[in-house]
């Protein structure tokens, strides 16, 4: 059922303890903050300035926040990629065994792909702002 | 060999479930899980009967079978029961029942908390459901929109609010239990990448509950303050806004859909590999999709509010996020389909339900993508199209997977097999009946039939579609009843199933029917499917070659391991059977139920019972100093019997509970700023309170009492218990002063909470913090008493760690409240 891997004993990683659960949720948390920032900024702006107000300044804000969020996710992704890439064996997509090395590789993979998903979601959320003109 | 037999007998004695009257004192997960399951099913049948009344009424136009008022109660209760009393609790039930086995634990870390949650749920559920027999059930829809629900005269809204707030306690209790269970109670060697997918899903859902349920609790508080004391949070005439309720409700309500869906789909992740006879495809992809869905699901709530007149840019954000969530949801579905295609499928009833679930859910998912597009939603909002959509997602995403789970796990739990023939019949009746009932609703919705109308005119052209739906509903019900009959029919003459009857690979199937201890010994796990990969696994397990194979001290124990790599770190003594969880739940139930009727004295008595029971429970059953420091668990491993701080499960439980508590507090703060957003002038002209002075004094005093508590813990840890007692004593006084100072702000400036939403929300924040200060006071006194009676010492200080942790959160809330109510008015 399972292929035997050469790495079955516990190997100390040169990258230290590697990925933990917190780094898995960094990117989606950035998405959540970005989402809240966009929504709250636009909601307050439109409520205070009325429905005819042009969106220009809040659009700039959303673009800036989006760039920051993507930057953050990119940073988190690069960090994970480095750790992931420095895997001690060649079978990067194998993490069915009970070694810290494979646990680590697994979490890096999950975190990395979550970064991709978060980046897509950040871009999705920013799109409406590029098309709408006023608070209507 | 006799030695081993003595061990087995000892284990059996320690884990023996009490019988007779004392059966009700059980706390073991296998018993409580079963109760939970049976109760959820009973409520489900009740909700289903209500649904049939709805379909009978709508069978013909101009029907007079039930009155409009009764119909409103029926659909409200149908929605409420199915969501709050079936869909969420069934997740808790299944998780409590099978999760420990899957992780290789003897029990969950807080069995008495599970039992407490169950009793809360049962009492609250019976109360809410029973109301319909007195013609006083809630009747303004399962999401209780004000002003309809605040201004109608009936008691139904209070029953809904208080009954469900009470049940939410059970959900949060379950979340605490399950998160700690998955993170800390996995068998040694079960690294996080080997955790069964069900465990991952439970972890994600537990986390979601902590951020989704508290906003509803906050909303309930505002709502009940308006109903009970006339504080105008949702009354437009006095500066309130009904939209605030919609926000708070749906911040809960949309994640809740995924809270229901994910654990059910998690069952597919366990069942599909078994019947495909291969490991799951794309394990890591499923994990990341579950996590991604969990996060994204919090960015969808406004899509229930597309027609409330919010700015289109707000709709755009939520529409985009609603489309994005289809990506991780889709990945999970594809992974399941890929597993089926790559394996050689064994035909079976659970598999039939799995495939039916996928088919139905995909239709519901596609209509979901349709209604996520705001302009389309404008057209079908509040029509039967939405009714069809939500039933396709819930029946496909929850009910069918749970039915698959029932067929799959029945032999494990009950020791007998369900009938294959009846199962196939039940499946096809349900599948055909469901689609006959709900597919036409897409059309009746498109033709303009609104939700919740108790009848319709013949000229509308909805008659035939409604007739078809009603016939389908009864076919569906017939299928369901067949399944229920199959579960409850006597099976005395049926032979007991052999162990691991489906040839599954995961750990829960290593259990033998009838063993209340879970596993003979706690195995070391080296793969995701230990029963497939290690042919010798069961023998080793049964011969007690694993860890913790005995219970020499006569105590129920389970192993606590590290979060990522599952290294054994601690032996946890878990709760024994007892009446206290039930008494505590009854006391708390009395508080909520009597509050509905405004019977203050019985309510206070209920509160006293609750407090006494909880204190006794804590005093006698937690942070007990063991008779020896370490225990030999086998394999030459000695583990501590007592740990404190973040090494202990109790600390994590407090941390998780307080995270949920903090979310509720932040939802109230959101309410404050929401009112600021909608009012051109906030605070309103002419209102002076609460001023900056008293809030500032209160904030400083809260910091002081927090500092004293923290210092007491450190000083006690350094060996000076006497000094620590002194500091805790001082902290009691400071806590009382801080509460008085906080109340002095709005009190001395004469803020009248019934006059406007501003004073109301200020008072509400103050009340929230006061309640937390009062709880903190009890805790400080408790800590003092523990030190005084030698139940806590410099080396055994878990209580003090937990109390301090509580105070970290309370100090934060107190200071933030002081800054908001005292400082923010000066900024505007």
Contact present, B180 and B109 (Cβ < 8 Å): yes
If chain B, 828 residues long, is cut into consecutive pieces of 10 residues, what is the mean pLDDT of each piece? 78 88 92 95 97 97 95 95 94 94 93 94 95 92 90 84 85 92 94 94 96 94 93 94 96 94 95 94 94 95 94 93 93 94 93 96 94 95 96 96 97 94 97 98 96 94 96 98 96 91 94 84 91 91 87 91 91 93 96 93 97 96 91 91 92 95 97 94 88 96 98 95 96 98 95 95 97 97 96 94 97 97 91
Confirm whether B215 is domain-assigned. no
Alpha carbon distance A102, A85 (integer Å): 13
Contacts of B738 (CB under 8 A, 6+ apart): B698, B701, B702, B704, B705, B773, B814
d(CA B76, CA B775): 35
What's residue A16's pLDDT?
A: 47
Instruction: Please indicate, yes or no, if residue B287 is contained in any of the structural domains.
Output: no
A1·B190 Cβ contact <8 A: no
What's the CA gap between B678 and B674, in Å, rounded? 6
Q: From B26, B17, B135, B137, select the one nearest B85 (Cα to Cα).
A: B137
Contact list in B for residue A46 (CB cut-off 8 A) is: 311, 313-314
Question: Is B684 among the domain residues?
Answer: yes
Taking the CB of residue A48, how many other CB atoms lie within 10 A of it? Answer: 13
User: In B, which residues are within 8 Å of A21 by CB distance?
Assistant: 192, 563-564
Return the number of other C-beta atoms located less than 10 Å from residue B133's C-beta. 8
Q: Taking the model in full, what pTM does it have?
A: 0.94
Q: Mutation target for B interface from A39, A48, A118, A133: give the one with most B CBs within 10 A.
A: A39
Does the distance separating the beta carbons of B564 and A20 come in below 8 Å?
A: yes
Three-state DSSP at B300 gives coil
A128 CB neighbours in chain B (<8 A) are 312-313, 315-317, 319-320
Q: What angle do CA B178, B181, B184 make, to 5 degrees?
A: 145
Query: From CA A126, how far away is CA B3, in angstroms rounded?
Result: 68
The residues facing B640 across adjacent strands are B630
Q: Vertex B252, ends B249 and B256: CA angle to 5°?
A: 130
Q: Which of A1, A24, A106 is the closest to B279 by Cβ?
A: A1
Contact B321 A35 (CB under 8 A): yes
In this complex, do A135 and B190 lie within 8 Å of one another by their Cβ atoms? no
C-alpha to C-alpha distance for A35 and A31, rounded to whole angstroms: 6
CA atoms of B451 and B459, how far apart (whole Å) = 18
Mark yes or no for CB contact B314/A106 under 8 Å: no
Chain B residues whose CB is inside 8 A of the A109 CB are 284, 288
Identify from A11, A113, A122 which residue to disrupt to test chain B contact, counting B C-beta atoms within 10 A and taking the largest count: A113
B47 domain-assigned: no
Q: What CATH number is given to the structural domain containing B759?
A: 1.20.120.80
B322: closest CA among A128, A48, A98? A128
* B383 bridge partner residues: B450
Question: Measured in whole angstroms, how far is the alpha carbon of residue B211 from the centre of its chain?
Answer: 11
Distance from CA of A78 to the nearest CA of B (A): 18
Q: Is residue B821 part of a domain?
A: yes
Which positions in chain B touch A20 (Cβ < 8 Å)?
Answer: 564
A-chain residues near B372 (CB < 8 A): none
Q: Which residues of chain A have pLDDT under 50?
A: 1-12, 14-16
Contact B312 A29 (CB under 8 A): no
Contact A35 B191 (CB under 8 A): no
- Judging contacts by C-beta atoms under 8 Å, the chain A residues touching residue B203 are none
The closest CB to that of A136, out of B194, B311, B529, belongs to: B311
Least Cα separation, residue A15 to chain B (angstroms): 16
Strand ranges inside B504-636, DSSP E: 557-561, 568-573, 630-634
Digit-coded pLDDT (tens) for B179-229? 999 999 999 999 999 999 999 999 999 999 999 999 999 999 999 999 999
Residues of B within 8 A of A118 (CB-CB) are 292, 295
Total residue length of chain B: 828
Q: Does residue B772 lie within any of the structural domains?
A: yes
β-pair partners for B289: none
* Calpha distance A125→B318 (Å, rounded): 8
Question: Out of A32, A42, A110, whose CB is closest to B298?
Answer: A32
CA separation, residue B26 to residues B38, B167, B371, B525, B725 (Å)? 15, 20, 46, 29, 37
Strands B630-634 vs B557-561: parallel, antiparallel or unpaired: unpaired
Structural domain count of chain B: 1
Q: What angle do CA B293, B294, B300 make, to 5 degrees?
A: 75
Return the closest-CA partner of residue B227 out of B153, B127, B142, B140. B153
The 3-state secondary structure of B74-113 reads HHHHHHHHHHHHHHHHHHHHHHHHHHHHHHCCCCCCCHHH
The parent domain of residue B787 ranges over 666-826
Q: How many beta carbons lie within 10 A of that of residue A41, not counting itself?
A: 16
CB spacing of A46 vs B288 below 8 angstroms: no
Asked whether the CA dihedral A42, A47, A51, A54 is positive or negative, the reply is negative
Which of B182, B288, B289, B672 best tests the A interface by mutation, with the highest count of A CBs <10 A? B288
Q: Searching chain B, which residue's CA lies closest to the CA of residue A121?
A: B324
| pLDDT of res. B162 | 86
Is B351 within a domain?
Answer: no
The pLDDT assigned to B58 comes to 97
What pLDDT, on a 0 to 100 scale, did the predictor assign at position A20? 81
Angstrom distance (rounded) from CA B84 to CA B822: 38
Q: Would you state the pLDDT for residue A86?
A: 58
Which CA distances in Å does B516 have to B31, B367, B411, B434, B693?
Answer: 9, 45, 15, 38, 60
| B707 occurs within a structural domain | yes
d(CA A75, CA A52): 38
pLDDT at B513: 84
């Amino acid at each position: 059922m399972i292929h035997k891997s050469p790495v079955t004993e516990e190997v100390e990683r040169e990258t230290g303890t590697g990925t933990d659960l917190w780094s898995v949720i960094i990117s989606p948390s950035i998405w959540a903050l970005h989402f809240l920032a966009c929504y709250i900024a636009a909601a307050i702006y439109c409520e205070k300035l009325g429905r005819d107000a042009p969106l220009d300044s809040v659009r700039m804000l959303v673009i800036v926040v989006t760039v920051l969020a993507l930057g953050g996710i990119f940073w988190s992704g690069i960090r994970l990629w480095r750790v992931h890439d420095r895997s001690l064996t060649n079978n990067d997509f194998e993490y069915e065994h009970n070694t810290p090395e494979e646990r680590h590789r697994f979490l890096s993979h999950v975190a990395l792909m979550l970064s991709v998903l978060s980046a897509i979601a950040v871009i999705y959320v920013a799109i409406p702002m590029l098309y709408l003109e006023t608070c209507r | 060999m006799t030695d081993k037999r003595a061990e087995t007998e000892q284990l059996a004695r320690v884990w023996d479930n009490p019988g007779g009257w004392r059966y009700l004192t059980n706390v073991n997960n296998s018993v409580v899980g079963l109760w939970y399951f049976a109760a959820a099913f009973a409520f489900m049948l009740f909700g289903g009967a209500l649904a049939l009344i709805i379909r009978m009424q709508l069978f013909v136009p101009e029907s007079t079978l039930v009155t409009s008022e009764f119909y409103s109660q029926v659909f409200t209760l149908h929605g409420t029961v199915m969501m709050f009393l079936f869909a969420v609790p069934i997740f808790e039930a299944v998780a409590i029942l099978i999760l420990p086995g899957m992780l290789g634990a003897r029990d969950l870390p807080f069995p008495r908390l599970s039992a407490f949650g169950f009793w809360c749920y049962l009492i609250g559920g019976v109360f809410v459901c029973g109301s319909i027999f007195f013609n006083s059930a809630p009747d303004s829809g399962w999401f209780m929109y004000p002003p309809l629900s605040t201004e109608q005269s009936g008691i139904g809204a209070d029953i809904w609010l208080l009954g469900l707030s009470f049940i939410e306690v059970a959900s949060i209790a379950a979340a605490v239990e399950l998160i700690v269970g998955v993170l800390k109670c996995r068998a040694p060697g079960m690294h996080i990448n080997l955790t069964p997918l069900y465990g991952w899903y439970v972890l994600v859902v537990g986390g979601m509950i902590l951020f989704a349920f508290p906003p509803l609790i906050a909303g309930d508080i505002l709502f009940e303050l308006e109903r009970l004391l006339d504080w105008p949070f949702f009354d437009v005439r006095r500066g309130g806004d009904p939209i605030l309720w919609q926000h708070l409700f749906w911040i809960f309500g949309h994640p809740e859909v995924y809270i229901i869906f994910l654990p059910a789909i998690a069952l597919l992740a366990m069942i599909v590999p078994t019947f495909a006879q291969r490991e799951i495809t794309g394990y890591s992809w499923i994990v990341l999709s579950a996590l991604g869905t969990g996060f994204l699901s919090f960015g969808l709530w406004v899509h229930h509010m597309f027609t409330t007149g919010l700015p289109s840019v707000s709709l755009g954000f939520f529409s985009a996020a609603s489309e994005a969530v289809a990506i991780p949801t889709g990945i999970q579905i594809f992974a399941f389909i890929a597993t089926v295609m790559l394996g050689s499928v064994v035909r079976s009833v659970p598999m039939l339900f799995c495939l039916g679930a996928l088919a139905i859910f995909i239709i519901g998912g596609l209509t979901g993508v349709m209604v996520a597009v705001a302009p389309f939603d404008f057209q079908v909002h509040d029509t039967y199209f939405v009714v069809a959509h939500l039933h396709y997602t819930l029946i496909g995403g929850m009910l069918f997977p749970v039915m698959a789970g029932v067929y799959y796990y029945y032999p494990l739990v009950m020791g007998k097999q369900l009938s294959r023939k009846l199962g196939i019949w039940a499946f096809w009746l349900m599948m055909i009946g469901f689609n006959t009932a709900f597919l036409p609703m897409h059309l009746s919705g498109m033709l303009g039939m609104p939700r919740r109308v108790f009848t319709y005119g013949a000229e509308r052209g909805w008659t035939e579609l409604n007739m078809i739906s009603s016939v389908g509903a009864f076919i569906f019900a017939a299928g369901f009843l067949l399944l229920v009959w199959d579960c409850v029919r006597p099976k005395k003459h049926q032979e007991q199933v052999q162990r691991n009857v489906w040839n599954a690979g995961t750990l829960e199937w290593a259990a033998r029917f009838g063993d209340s201890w879970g596993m003979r010994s706690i195995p070391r796990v080296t793969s995701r499917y230990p029963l497939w990969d290690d042919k010798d696994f069961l023998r080793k397990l049964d011969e007690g070659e694993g860890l913790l194979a005995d219970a020499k001290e006569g105590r129920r124990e389970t192993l606590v391991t590290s979060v990522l790599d599952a290294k054994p770190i601690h032996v946890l003594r878990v709760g024994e059977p007892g009446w206290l969880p039930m008494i505590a739940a009854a006391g708390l139930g009395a508080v909520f139920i009597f509050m509905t009727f405004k019977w203050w004295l019985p309510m206070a008595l209920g509160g006293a019972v609750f407090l006494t029971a909880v204190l006794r429970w804590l005093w006698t059953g937690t942070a007990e100093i063991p008779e020896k420091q370490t225990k030999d668990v086998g394999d030459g491993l000695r583990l501590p019997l007592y740990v404190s701080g973040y090494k202990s499960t109790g600390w994590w439980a407090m941390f998780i509970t307080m995270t949920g508590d903090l979310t509720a507090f932040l939802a109230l703060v959101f309410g404050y700023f929401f009112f600021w957003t909608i009012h051109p002038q906030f605070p309103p002209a002419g209102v002076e309170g609460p001023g900056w002075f008293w809030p500032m004094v209160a904030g400083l005093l809260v910091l002081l009492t927090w500092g004293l508590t923290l210092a007491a813990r450190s000083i006690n840890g350094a060996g000076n218990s006497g000094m620590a007692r002194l500091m805790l004593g001082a902290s009691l006084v400071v806590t009382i002063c801080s509460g008085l100072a906080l109340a002095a702000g709005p009190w001395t400036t004469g803020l009248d909470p019934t006059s406007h939403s501003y004073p109301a929300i200020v008072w509400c924040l103050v009340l929230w913090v006061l309640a937390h200060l009062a709880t903190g006071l009890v805790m400080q006194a408790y800590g003092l008493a523990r030190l005084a009676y030698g139940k806590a010492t410099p080396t055994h200080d878990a209580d003090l760690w937990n109390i301090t942790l509580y105070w970290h959160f309370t100090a934060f809330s107190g200071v933030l409240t002081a800054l908001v109510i005292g400082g923010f008015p000066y900024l505007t």
